[in-house]
Structure 1
Amino acid sequence: MKQDVTQRRSTLATLAGLLPFMAPYRKRFLLAAIALLVAAGATLAIPVAFRQLIDLGFVSDVTGAGARHINFYFLALFGVACVLAVATAARFYLVSWLGERVTADLRSAVYAHVVTQSPQFFETTRSGEVLSRLTADTTLIQAVVGTSISMALRNALLFAGGMTMLFITSVKLSSIILVTLLAVVLPIVLFGRRVRKLSRQSQDRIADASALAGEMLNAVGIVQAYTHEAQEARRFGAAVEDAFQTALRRIRARSLLTVVAILLVFGAIVFVLWLGAHAVIEGTMSAGQLGQFILYATIVAGAIAALSEVLGEAQRAAGATERLLELLAEQSPIRSPDQPVAPGSCSAGGAALQLREVGFHYPSRPQSPSIAALSVDIAPGETVAIVGPSGAGKTTLFQLLLRFYDPQQGSILLNGVDIRRLDLHALRGAIGIVPQDTVVFSANAMDNIRYGRDGASDADVIAAARMAAAHEFIERMPEGYHTFLGDRGVRLSGGQRQRIAIARALLKNPPLLLLDEATSALDAESERLVQGALETAMQNRTTLVIAHRLATVQRADRILVMEHGRLVETGTHAELVARGGLYAGLAALQFNLG
């Protein structure tokens, strides 16, 4: 994150980052500006009407011309009020619409950008923090775009128009009030900077609390199993208290900013009005002029007070905008090339795969290689099992094949083409995966399986479910394939979730299939059914299998044995057992071949 750079930017410069999201709605902003100008003009016309009422109505003969003046100016005043009401309502509708629209676009843009980031991004950024930026931060921006900008422009117009009319009414008094009001600017600027810094800190603390809550709620079963409910509640309470204390410092700073601004502004106005009252007594100013001056001074004072309040909101929004723009500025190191080449054609038996001296270490662990000098050729249609102790680099290899990461050394070729030269969607579209940690979405069974291929027919989905031995248990559910599976598939057993994931991969029908312990959560009967389905699927594609089950490994055409990221043995099950190496030891421990 580029916090040290963005924190030095001014509030306006930071908020200017929202302009690309506002630009498509120029016409609505123009209409809102017109409504704003009309409303401000109507507001500035009210003191003139009051001056005429006082000087030509009340002060003059109320039985003759004065009475007619009173009638006319009261009607005029009501007409101004009508214009003000309509213009204000139009402004409110337009700016509220813009606030909602721009916020929705911003949320969509941030989310669409985040989901393209590589796993490296999520190693350093917690999902709870991202969610906080998508919700709390965008809500602050919505308030600024939908309210604060309009209020700022309105009060800026009222301030400028009010000051102009003050000078027209009395140059002497206006000059005095202008000099005194200039003294307000310095404390507002100084306090505004502190408010902005505290606003950024407040949003960060809220994000920390959200991230902690999200992490614990996703692991609530473990929390309860280890009876850590009270400890986790205290941790979250401490995070919330930290956020509260940070917010309290921001509130104090804003409160001090408000009281200083209002005291200085109204102190200056009271002083100038005292001078004006003496001018009326001395006969150098009419009562109507003084009344007009008082109203315009009130408008100017109210505008300054409102601007100080809006400035506080803008400071908070600037902090939120910084955080969102940081997300949008993040560039994934894994991207499609500018000019991707077409993937090589797959044979009827699947994809060809070659690894050439591949070396890789995770960015967070640069001193610990996960893959070292790995070279393998896998023929189309071949089924290759990958075994080895924990930490051998098996799952890392799958992540490299999917280009979640790029190797620091060597290259990976799919059908003779380096996968870094392929379009990411084309590459991943050619690969199906069943991960060890199965993912089931908060949707029904039909949609969960159809996730493997958008637009697949119901018949195709059901056929894939049959192949994965999932059709029978799905049919027994209350609404069959349209049964909601719950958050993360909580209504299913582990084996059922895994069969859903297998059906999803089979529906995709890719030339290269990656199975990471695809049958680890299945009981013996379900495993027998799924093994038969997987064997059928393997006949038509290249398959890489990470497995510890003897049945899967024995059926592989070849077994690769990895240790500490290196390929240490290769051969069939019988060859490796006879060789008496690492695989034979693993077989004796894990496959009961002692």
Structure 2
Amino acid sequence: MTALTPLILENPLPPDRTGAPRLDPEVERRIDATRDHTRAYAFLRDGLKTGRFGGVSTKSSAALAMVEVLQRVSWPVNYRTFAGAIPHYAETFGVSEMRTALCILGFSTSSDRVRGRNLATLPPGSFVVTKYGRCLFLAYDNRRQPVLYDPQTERFSKLRKSRIYDCQIVEELSDQTQSQNARSGWISKTFARFGSENRTILTVTFLSNALIILASLSVGFIFDKVLPAKAYDTLISLLMGVGLLLFCDLRLRRIKSRLIARVSGRLEYIVSSVLYEKLISFRLEMLRASSVSEQINRLKQFETVRDFYCGPIVAILFEMPFVALLFATIFWLSPPVAVLLLGVTGVYLVVGATLYPRIKRTSKEMAALRADCLRLQEETISQRDQIVRRGLGQVWAARLAPRFRRLGVARHKQDSIWLLLNSLIAVVSPLAIGGVITIGALEVMSGNMTGGALIACMILSSRLLSPVQQALILAVRAPEIASLFRQMDAMMQIPSGSPDRPLNMSELLHGDQKAPAITVDGLVLRYPKSVAAALKGLTLTIAGGSFTCVTGASGVGKTSLLNAIMGHYRAQSGRVLIGAANIEQFEPAQKADLIGYLGHRSLQIHGTLAQNLRLTKPEATEQEIEEICSEMGILDAIRSLPQGFDTRMDYQFRHRFPPSFRTKFAIAQLLLKNPKVLLLDEPEAGLSDEDEKRLMSVIKNRRGRMTTIMVTHRPSLVRQADNALVLRDGQVQFFGAPTEQNARSG
């Protein structure tokens, strides 16, 4: 973790005729690369301060420290990836948010306490966190002495070699490590991230149980020794000691509850963000295979992982290891009482093992019925207009009633098991305590046990039986939780569609070379849950840099062709080539950089107009944004707004813009990144004749540098295209110059 050092120029070439020294070309290349990276990291810092990334200006120590971490580990700057890792409109950006962002960027962070003299042995990017939340990095002064550097204030402070510092250790996760983590279980790895917190909770639980044991023994000592001797001074001292023990137990419980709440909150954020990111990275064919209600229901179930950690389940899991300690203490006080409690615990285990198959079967039945009811509810809402217009309300309600009836019966079965367990506990628990009192009384009368030991056994017995009883009650949810964890692990192991060997697209993405040609070779595409194919052996080649209009009747495969070119759906046969590369070989980020796609709905987020434009190119300058908006004819409209480009495009205000503005705004959003391929699906909706002329001017200005394919029904647009593609029943009916199509039609 050493500070970055400037390049040292060695062995320069002889000076040229002007007397200026010449450098070796390789050294010049290294200098330029270093300058570019320095400017890139400076751009990241400036973007966080101005709100370019995340929407909210932040100058916190953690935000600037994250950029320092990335610079020290030589992270290859990718503005889009960085913007996706920053929380959107976050009120605060602390160390927790920083750790989450680093995790999204492919780095793991762990907490540790390290002496100052050992900081240099930590991996690059590791840093110290002060008690005030400031992040400090190891650096060296002019005398090569270690110091601590604060990237927020750019000041140095003295490093104390014997002092123990709270550190965050940063390590990059390799692709192999990530794949191994996925195979070994995402849930278990996620819980393992909170290893230090879990160890602290276990320690606190151990101390709490130890205090209860000590307090119980103190109470027994009071009854056995202090009260018979009438030692009031000792009694007062012991009572104060017992009160102090109980106060300490309360403090420990508060610490434990705060730790569990903190971990559950972090867990909810991690699970929600990672699962949504995973869901969005899937191919559209995977999402289309299930209904929206099923996906929403599944996501809601996944988000209940937070309840698993914050609820009583985890509390019981932390308590169960110390049940043996309570058993040992009770056995030391009275073996017969310990045997009785062991028998009661055995009864609970037998009852749980007997009911578990029934619980598992009922949970599975409820899950299937719940999914069926959600599907019918979604169908009802989507078809509500037709149901009302045709007067089918009673018929539709009669169709739903049997499903809800079966769901109610299944829920009644599960509730019956839960009530049965509660009734069992309500009966067995008093009997167990009564048995402890009876056996203890007999032991006291026989002289094998003191009265104080009996009281201590009663206190410890109630503490011992509580987690055992709660574990029996929560057995009702055990199958549901186990199924949920298996589903989450299975989901995280599904490949996101990225190829095993990503292409080197530097030549294709950069430079002013001609746009790539698009070749469709024998393409057969069938959507999930569809019998008929949308595309039936489609074959054609679109020249690079040309403008092609796709037309035809509704349902002939026009949008399906654009989806196939984007690689949203995996074809059953055939292939799509961009240049010489198969679209299946492209990573999602590569496709996003290469292809601009505008469907029937544009992508607009809750943010400013400038932020929405920068979705495709986060590093875009103000000048670039104004130029592209001016080219699309929306610059004056934006400047006339009270806040200009800083106008918030939230859900309510978004609909105040006319459809033509939203369409031109969406096209400007795509053109800002200068795509090599532009796919437009009926963009003329809502555009006036003047807007159409401006759109055609934009496309013509990029001929040769951008391959454009537009789905349209306007003959005026088709006549201006280089090629017209007419589809019919998923096949090519005509492909050629528009003049040839007109002659053929005539």
User: TM-score, normalised to structure 2's length?
Assistant: 0.67
In 2, distance between residues paired with 1:347 and 1:478? 38
Find out whether 1:117 has 2:282 as its counterpart: yes
CA-CA distance at 1:284 after TM superposition = 4.2
CA contact (8 A) 2:376 2:400 kept: no
Q: Does the 8 Å contact 1:343/1:422 carry over to 2?
A: no
Q: 1:148, 1:314 within 8 Å by CA — same for their partners in 2?
A: no
Amino acid of the structure 2 residue aligned with 1:544: I
Worse-superposed segment, 489-498 or 201-210: 201-210
- Aligned partners of 1:491, 1:196: CA distance in 2, in Å? 52
Q: Please name the residue that 1:496 is paired with.
A: 661
Is contact 1:385–1:545 with CA below 8 Å preserved after alignment?
Answer: yes
1:336 aligns with 2:499: yes
Give, in whole Å, the separation in 1 of the partners of 2:337 and 2:710.
87
Matched position secondary structure for 2:724: strand
Cα gap change, 1:271/1:445 in structure 2, threshold over 3 Å: closer, same or farther? same
2:205 is aligned with 1:36: yes
Instruction: Report the alpha carbon displacement of residue 221 of structure 1 after superposing the two structures with TM.
Output: 11
> What's the counterpart of residue 486 of structure 1?
650
Contact 2:366 2:407 in 1 (8 A): yes
Shift of 1:246: 5.4
- Find the counterpart in structure 1 of residue 241 from structure 2: 76
Alpha carbons of structure 1 residues 369 and 351: separation in structure 2 relative to 1, 3 Å: same
8 Å CA contact 1:477–1:483 kept in 2: the answer is yes
Question: For residues 382-531 of structure 1, what are the structure 2 equivalents within 5 Å?
Answer: 382-487=546-651, 489-531=654-696
* Alignment map for 1:83-122 (pairs within 5 Å): 83-122=248-287
The counterpart of 1:269, out of the listed 426, 433, 438, is 433
Name the amino acid aligned to 1:554.
R
Q: Which amino acid aligns with 2:516?
A: A
In structure 2, the CA distance between the partners of 1:363 and 1:307, relative to structure 1 (3 Å rule), is closer
String of CA shifts for 1:506-541, please: whole Å, max 9, x gaps.
212111111211112223343333333333344632
The answer to whether residue 195 in structure 2 is matched with residue 26 in structure 1 is yes
The one of 46, 51, 57 aligned to 2:215: 46
Alignment match, 2:315: 151
Following superposition, the deviation at residue 559 of structure 1 comes to 1.2
Alignment partner of 1:126 is 2:276 = no
Q: Does 505-514 or 296-305 show the bigger shift?
A: 296-305
Q: 1:574 to 1:432 in 2, by over 3 A?
A: same
- Aligned partners of 2:577, 2:186: CA distance in 1, in Å? 41
For 2:725, give the aligned amino acid.
Answer: L
- Secondary structure of the 2:742 match is helix
Counterpart for residue 455 of structure 2: 291
Q: Which moved more, 1:368-377 or 1:45-54?
A: 368-377
Classify 1:382/1:222 alpha carbon distance in 2 versus 1 (closer, same or farther; 3 Å): farther
Change (3 A) 1:154 1:209: same
Deviation for aligned residue 1:167: 1.5
RMSD (Å), alpha carbons: 3.5
Where 1:355 maps in the other structure, the secondary structure is strand
Q: Distance in 1 between matches of 2:498 and 2:552?
A: 31
Note the alpha carbon deviations across 1:400-452, whole angstroms, 9 max, x for none: 11111233323222222222233332233111122233343333322222223
What is the identity, as a one-letter code, of the residue corresponding to 1:531?
M
Distance 1:456 1:449, change over 3 A: same
- Alpha-carbon separation, structure 2, partners of 1:445 and 1:231: 47
1:383-402 CA-partner distances (Å, limit 9, x unpaired): 11222222222211111111
Determine if contact 1:132/1:206 at 8 Å carries over to the other structure. Answer: no
Give the letter aligned to residue 372 of structure 1: K
Distance 1:457 1:215 in 2: 46
Structure 2: distance between partners of 1:454 and 1:255:
56
Q: Which moved more, 1:175-184 or 1:389-398?
A: 175-184
Q: After TM superposition, give the deviation of residue 53 of structure 1 in Å.
A: 0.8
**1:285-307, CA deviations, whole angstroms, 9 ceiling, x for partnerless residues?**
32222222222222222232233
* Long gaps (5+) in structure 2: 1-183
Aligned twin of 1:162? 326
Q: 1:251, CA displacement in angstroms?
A: 3.5
Task: Please report how far the alpha carbon of residue 129 of structure 1 lies from its aligned counterpart in structure 2 after TM superposition.
Answer: 3.7
1:145, distance to aligned residue in structure 2 (A): 1.9
Q: Secondary structure at the match of 1:508?
A: coil
One-letter amino acid of the structure 1 residue matched with residue 615 of structure 2: Y
Give the CA deviation at 1:244.
6.9
In the aligned structure 2, how far is the partner of 1:564 from the partner of 1:181?
A: 70
One-letter identity of the residue aligned with 1:321: F
For 1:482, the aligned partner's letter is D
CA contact (8 A) 1:192 1:257 kept: no
Give the aligned partner of residue 418 of structure 2: 254
- Look up the match of 1:568: 733
Letter in 1 for 2:232: A
Deviates more, 1:562-571 or 1:126-135: 126-135
**Could you say if the C-alpha distance between residues 520 and 241 of structure 1 is closer, same or farther in structure 2, counting changes exceeding 3 Å?**
farther
What secondary structure does 1:115 align onto?
helix
Aligned match of 1:317:
481
The answer to whether the Cα contact below 8 Å between 2:348 and 2:472 also exists between their aligned partners in 1 is no
- C-alpha contact (below 8 Å) 1:119/1:404 kept by paired residues: yes
Tell me the residue number matched to 1:61.
229
8 Å contact from structure 2 (residues 521, 539) kept in 1: yes
Which piece of structure 1 moves more, 547-556 or 488-497?
Answer: 488-497
- Cα gap change, 1:272 to 1:184, in 2 (>3 Å): same
Q: What's the counterpart of residue 369 of structure 1?
A: 533
Which residue identity lines up with residue 207 of structure 2 in the other structure? Answer: V
1:359 aligned residue (517, 520, 524):
524
SS at match of 1:374: strand
Q: Quick one: structure 1 residues 314 and 73, their matched pair in 2 at CA, closer, same or farther if it must change by over 3 Å?
A: farther
Do the aligned partners of 1:517 and 1:547 also contact (CA within 8 Å) in 2?
yes
What TM-score comes out, normalization by structure 1 length? 0.83
Distance in 2, matches of 1:128 and 1:465, equals: 38
Which whole-Å deviations, capped at 9, do the CAs of 1:34-92 have from their partners, x for residues lacking one? 1111011111222211111111122x131xxx334423422331232233123222222
Counterpart residue type for residue 152 of structure 1 = I
The code of the aligned residue for 1:130 comes to Q
Deviation at 1:117, TM superposition (A): 0.4
Indicate the larger mover: 431-440 or 26-35: 431-440
What code does the residue aligned with 2:215 have?
Answer: I
Please say which of residues 501-510 and 486-495 is displaced more in the overlay. 486-495
Higher relative contact order, structure no. (Cα contacts within 8 Å, ≥ 6 residues apart): 1
1:578 lines up with 2:746 in the alignment:
no
Q: Does the 8 Å CA contact 1:515/1:544 hold for their aligned counterparts?
A: yes
Aligned residue pairs total 559
Q: Secondary structure at the match of 2:550?
A: strand
1:545 aligns with 2:710: yes
Q: 1:514 aligns to what SS in structure 2?
A: strand
CA distance in 2, matches of 1:234, 1:552: 48
Q: Distance in 1 between matches of 2:626 and 2:366?
A: 50
**Comparing 279-288 with 457-466, which one deviates more in the overlay?**
279-288
- Secondary structure of 2:672's counterpart equals helix
Counterpart CA distance in 2 for 1:61 and 1:101 is 55
| Partner-residue secondary structure (3-state), 2:618 | coil
Give the 3 Å change call, closer, same or farther, for CA 533–416 of structure 1 in structure 2.
same
2: CA distance, partners of 1:203 / 1:255: 20
Residue 299 to residue 25, structure 1, CA distance change in 2 (3 Å): closer
Aligned residues of 1:335 and 1:424 also touching (Cα < 8 A):
yes
Q: Which has the higher helix share?
A: 1
